Structure 1
């Protein structure tokens, strides 16, 4: 009974951390069109926001795994929150100078803090209960994470752009660039204070350390001898790429189509991800296995990508079917399909993690770090998407590059997660 109480308390704290992950991560979707204006960037340059943030996961994941081995998972979380607070404070000089390079340094620092938090917290959720229901627990965390993703673009638009009737180049041209940039100071200062408070809370809370057997059943020397993990990292690389493309480029795409308040549109993608997570919570593992959920995610994702590429950018029919009964503004069909990618993506992360970490024992921290490194897909693939859109001059068709991402996810679901040796 006491163990269940302890596990529940740990899950609550991890849930708070997942909310922070979502808040900080999905703020990028609003920052991209905002910084594009105040730093006078083209679409390709603006996507360096995602590159600076997500490349931190690749650069810092293995060093952070060694930090966890030295400090333990709980103290590692405290360190991660402290680094994130520093990253938030760096937004102050960035905003005062309206310097894009300083913004990128601040984003990299935030990503570094998140790297250690993700490396520590995901194994907790996987291993704190039965492995076959791990995807359901991660789906619960995903609900919390994406709820923050729904809120943050709305908060960003209402707090920072409250006195601007619509987010367009014409309206923003009427506002001084440095004055516009300075609006970021107060939100990021508040974020730093919240992170420091949470750091103190985690430090003095009781979170049990994960315990692993000294020996395991595998005769392996390094984490790279586990195909299940290595190939899981490959699948996650492509998954995070398409997830970030869906969440962080929808505002940029809609802005090009003249849709008003484009900075808030990441919320649409997050809402559909929440629906996807609800499916995971309701049906895994009772009615839907983790493998089948992953297969379905890949196939539905390809279907929605075809919808993005070949539907109308003037018609609002799909949007009206989905929420025409409400007061929510409708979107062009092609933009609606970008948002629907959130539904297809929702269960990929929750299902790959337990499939990849199964049976790692003492190698769990290294396996987690390898999977976290795969978040680099969010840095590299959106840039590739942006370059394709720039070369072709057709952002709508550029979304078809995501089919490659879903192909690798499908391969992991069908074959790769079963490999125990090379």
Structure 2
């Protein structure tokens, strides 16, 4: 396969399969570096002595890059093409991982946040390329199916990344260390020495991660991954988009970007807060680290159902409506459930299992919103995709807002944040994606 640019509808079956496999590997890497935040948040909270609110700036610094860098990413991809752009994205991620070394040596939270923002910048570039790529590399009607396959790759990485981090960075004896640190009996010198030793454990794994990300960037650049032209317009799209001057002329895209903002925010709250929530039930970090994996396992189950059922047995739109509604009911379960249970060996409140179960409906919401929001954009596809990528900054805003509410109210009541989000998602799934004009008369 040559490296010349082709439109998506000219790709043969073999080229499409190759593209799906390579992009699937990319989504696996996205998951490795993204979902490790679930354990980085409580880890930094201990090692850098942070409040709930301060600790959730891990997610904020990481995901705010989507808001800041999505439009520059679109211009970069337009200038250098998708393959070179993806290489640049991986190089940014490698640089961000390397920044963890001076951050750990000085135990400076601000430098860690800089590294996370740099990793997020690389991901913004990669997501700006990968999401529209996988959406239009085949028929739009089966886009949710392909995105479900990407989701399996991403969430499987999410299951293993906190476990890998815990295996590499944490020790069996750390439970005693955490108890000692919380006791307040240590003098300042002994405590700082203990915290310095704890934080410096990230140096080796993040140095190795940096090298691997750099190498994968080079692989993408020289791989057989075909270039595509996502802004190729069919005759129908050209006729429909005649007279439209900007993405603001596509209401369903704007509404979809806000839906994506709320969805990814609810998803990251369900995953990145669950370890802290487990901690309020008497679990230490070594036990609680398993809960993000339970959430992501439920997500993978949803993806697999999507791969089987969409579009043969259920349309991606109906799947989206079902998942948004189920998400609302499970959120109410998180807030209202108050019953002690023992499940999978964990003594906990039933509400945390409602929280973990949110992974199931969340699986197909993203895959449903994206194709409904990008369909028919034609020459506006790149900038429209950038707007949707900006919506991913919900990952940055929502955890910080949750952390604030957890400090003001309590960690369970703060999950009321999820309810209005799912109500809006139901609106978009039922009606919002159909709105093609801002004028009620049309």
Q: Confirm or deny a common fold (TM above 0.5).
A: yes
> Aligned partners of 1:156 and 1:137: how far apart in 2?
29
Normalising by structure 1, report the TM-score: 0.94
**Mapped pair 1:26 → 2:35:** yes
**Mapped pair 1:412 → 2:428:** yes
Q: 1:184 to 1:167 in 2, by over 3 A?
A: farther
**Larger CA deviation: 188-197 vs 27-36:** 188-197
Aligned to 1:236: 260
Pairing partner for 2:411 from 390, 395, 400: 395
> Aligned partners of 1:140 and 1:379: how far apart in 2?
25
Aligned to 1:134: 143
Contact 1:30 1:264 in 2 (8 A): no
Contact 2:67 2:390 in 1 (8 A): yes
Contact 2:340 2:347 in 1 (8 A): no
> Aligned partners of 1:288 and 1:400: how far apart in 2?
31
Cα deviation for residue 172 of structure 1 reads 5.5
> Aligned partners of 1:129 and 1:228: how far apart in 2?
22
Pairing partner for 1:224 from 248, 254, 258: 248
Cα deviation for residue 315 of structure 1 reads 2.5
Aligned to 1:366: 383
Q: 1:88 to 1:236 in 2, by over 3 A?
A: same
Aligned to 1:184: 202
Aligned residue runs from structure 1 range 13-412, under 5 A = 13-164=22-173, 166=175, 169-170=178-179, 176-211=194-229, 212-213=231-232, 216-217=238-239, 218=241, 219-260=243-284, 261=286, 262-312=288-338, 314-316=340-342, 320=343, 324=344, 329=346, 331-392=348-409, 394-412=410-428
> Aligned partners of 1:419 and 1:2: how far apart in 2?
31
| 1:350-373 CA-partner distances (Å, limit 9, x unpaired) | 111111111111211111110000
> Aligned partners of 1:31 and 1:197: how far apart in 2?
24
**Larger CA deviation: 331-340 vs 405-414:** 331-340
**Aligned-pair RMSD on alpha carbons?**
1.7
> Aligned partners of 1:181 and 1:9: how far apart in 2?
40
Cα deviation for residue 298 of structure 1 reads 1.2
Contact 1:44 1:383 in 2 (8 A): yes
Contact 2:281 2:348 in 1 (8 A): no
> Aligned partners of 1:60 and 1:183: how far apart in 2?
30
Q: 1:386 to 1:2 in 2, by over 3 A?
A: closer
Count of matched residue positions in the alignment of Structure 1 and Structure 2: 412
Q: Which has the larger radius of gyration?
A: 2
Contact 2:270 2:355 in 1 (8 A): yes
Normalising by structure 2, report the TM-score: 0.90
Other structure's SS at 1:92 match: helix
Q: 1:144 to 1:236 in 2, by over 3 A?
A: same
Other structure's SS at 2:12 match: helix
Other structure's SS at 1:210 match: strand
Other structure's SS at 1:315 match: strand
Other structure's SS at 2:228 match: coil
Q: Gaps spanning 5+ residues in structure 2: where?
A: 1-9, 183-190
